[in-house]
Amino acid sequence: MYVEIQAPTRKPITVPALQAMKRDGCKIVALTAYDASFAYQLEVAGIDLVLVGDSLGMVVQGHDSTLPVTLEAMVYHCAMVCRGLRSSMLVADLPFMSYRDVDHALQASARLMAEGGAVMVKLEGGGWVCEIMQRLTEREVPVCAHLGLTPQSVHKLGGYRVQGRDAAAAEHLLDEARAVQQAGASLLVLEAVPATVAERISRELVIPTIGIGAGVDCDGQILVLYDILGITPGQRPRFSKDFLCDHGSIPKALRAYAEDVRSGRFPTSEHCY
């Protein structure tokens, strides 16, 4: 007999709620999702933030990078995920070249929010991207910045490499973090940066930081859903962990991930740089 799993009743997670979580020292729990069924499971598990990442290009579509992902695909998957959520915040990636200038960024963001149901959009990079962020926030579009390893820059970076290892690179990351906050970003994802650098950035910024391979001192953590379920083809990233293997079912794995992030048990030193 099929028994429906009821999602917990809670207030929707908002931008001010995320800021309050940082202020109160409550870790933000985030995961990616790409369809309604998994989105609902994340809702039931109490995940705070759900990202429709352009990682779908690799884990769903089978590409070797995120670059082929189109805006149409992002809107399609975002709308599916939205139907599975009630209170978790929905964030969507702006795909490669969809924010190459202000007009394209505004049009793409409008589609992800109006058609896809996203509450916030995520952009990779600093520098010239700060102008785009500022113009979006001026038009009431909540923005999540993304620094460190930025997958859309894979060819420029020469691969998926840790960023900010030496002193000069670390200072540059800190400067970029200050700049995206000044540009109006409400949230910052730090990917594949040394834990000491991420801790310094998280301590200095007013906006929350979400780490992925950036140490336990970020204000929250995010992983690719398929990685924590052990179903991503190929080698799992060092910063990830197979929670399904340890807990035996998807609902238990999701709850364990949420509990480990909130308690500070994840990530450990083996998941950091």
C-alpha distance from residue 73 to each of 54, 57, 69, 78 (Å)? 9, 9, 7, 8
Would you list the domain boundaries of the chain?
15-271
* Alpha-carbon span 20 to 39, nearest angstrom: 24
Topology of the domain covering 15-271:
TIM Barrel (3.20.20)
* Alpha-carbon span 240 to 258, nearest angstrom: 14
Amino acid 156: pLDDT: 86
Q: How confident is the model at residue 6 (pLDDT cuts 50, 70, 90)?
A: low
* Alpha-carbon span 54 to 94, nearest angstrom: 8
Scanning the structure block, which residue is given the tokens 């906050």? 181
pLDDT of 5 > 70? The answer is: no
Q: Which residues pair with 187 in a beta bridge?
A: 144
Amino acid 46: pLDDT: 97
pTM comes to 0.95
Amino acid 2: pLDDT: 37
| Residue 138 structure tokens | 């001026």
H or E stretch covering 52: strand 49-52
Task: Give mean pLDDT, residues 251-271.
Answer: 96
* Alpha-carbon span 229 to 250, nearest angstrom: 7
From the candidates 176, 191, 199, 270, which is the catalytic residue? 191
Residue 14, Cα to own-chain centre: how many angstroms? 15
* Alpha-carbon span 137 to 186, nearest angstrom: 9
Q: What is the pLDDT of residues 200-227, one digit of tens each?
A: 999 999 999 999 999 999 999 999 999 9
* Alpha-carbon span 28 to 18, nearest angstrom: 7
Provide the 10 A C-beta neighbour count for residue 205.
Answer: 18
H or E stretch covering 167: helix 167-182
Mean pLDDT for all residues in the chain: 94
Strand 143-148 and strand 89-93: pairing? unpaired
Q: Is 191 annotated in the active site?
A: yes
pLDDT of 187 > 70? The answer is: yes
Task: Give mean pLDDT, residues 11-31.
Answer: 97
Amino acid 233: pLDDT: 84
Q: What is the pLDDT of residues 89-147, one digit of tens each?
A: 999 999 999 999 999 999 999 999 999 999 999 999 999 999 999 999 999 999 999 99
